[in-house]
Structure 1
């Protein structure tokens, strides 16, 4: 079965164990990583895909991602640009990935923040908004599930 709506998307996230959910969420956020210039966000996502990451490593990454989130928020307030907003949404989404336990709701919220980042990008480019980012996320989660042998 292919994911085709948010209800199926949420159910697929909920069916994963903690490590798989963190990996899937990081995979989804990586789809929007080009919108964040901050290396701390990428470093956090790099750690998030490792099932052997311990709580100390996650805490260090969480501090870095949070600093990136705060910096992007401050920059957004200064510049008030959609591009800056996109970077902030990506950093906020990455925060969920560096938590020791990531709930299905955390994963869903992170996915929505990554989706909002793409919407901000579309607005900045003067393009209309549509469901294309949601559909891209459905495909990305399907790809991840297939890669772990857990087709939705």
Structure 2
């Protein structure tokens, strides 16, 4: 099954286990990591990518990513710096990748949406339009993860 639209993307994500959700969400966040300057975000994403991570380590990484998200949000202030906003969305993607999956929730979908918002913020900062390249990259990342 080729993944080339959000309906197929969301359907494929919904079939993943909790660990699968975390692992692919971390890959989505990692794809936009260049937009974050916060080492806590990188650490959180690296933690989320570990297949052998413990619940305590997940909780600690999630707390660190959440602090980075809050700090980056307050940096944006009234006059938004779109590059800072991009960093905030990367941190949010990291938080989503570490969040426990609850019934009806998809941490991987949430991470994907935050990653897309990070790219959109980057595009606004650069004064160029968005071309949905991040969506296409996410479809590819998921297909590679699923080996399809």
CA offset at residue 20 of structure 1? Answer: 1.4
CA offset at residue 82 of structure 1? Answer: 0.7
Give 1:107's aligned residue: 108
Q: Is the CA contact 1:44–1:61 (under 8 Å) kept in the aligned structure 2? A: yes
Q: Is the CA contact 1:62–1:95 (under 8 Å) kept in the aligned structure 2? A: yes
Q: Is the CA contact 2:44–2:65 (under 8 Å) kept in the aligned structure 1? A: yes
Q: Is the CA contact 1:119–1:129 (under 8 Å) kept in the aligned structure 2? A: yes
Q: What per-residue deviation string (whole Å, max 9, x for no partner) do you get for residues 102-140 of structure 1? A: 665222111001001001111111111122221121112
Distance, in Å, in 1 between the alignment partners of 2:17 and 2:57 is 20
Give 1:131's aligned residue: 132
Give 1:118's aligned residue: 119
Q: Is the CA contact 1:115–1:134 (under 8 Å) kept in the aligned structure 2? A: yes
TM-score (norm. length: structure 2): 0.92
Give 2:56's aligned residue: 56
Distance, in Å, in 1 between the alignment partners of 2:57 and 2:78 is 32
Detail structure 1 runs of 4+ shifted over 2 Å in the superposition.
99-106
Distance, in Å, in 1 between the alignment partners of 2:70 and 2:109 is 21
Distance, in Å, in 1 between the alignment partners of 2:101 and 2:56 is 13
Structure 2 segments unaligned to the other structure (5+ residues): none
Structure 1 segments unaligned to the other structure (5+ residues): none
TM-score (norm. length: structure 1): 0.89
Q: CA RMSD in A?
A: 1.6
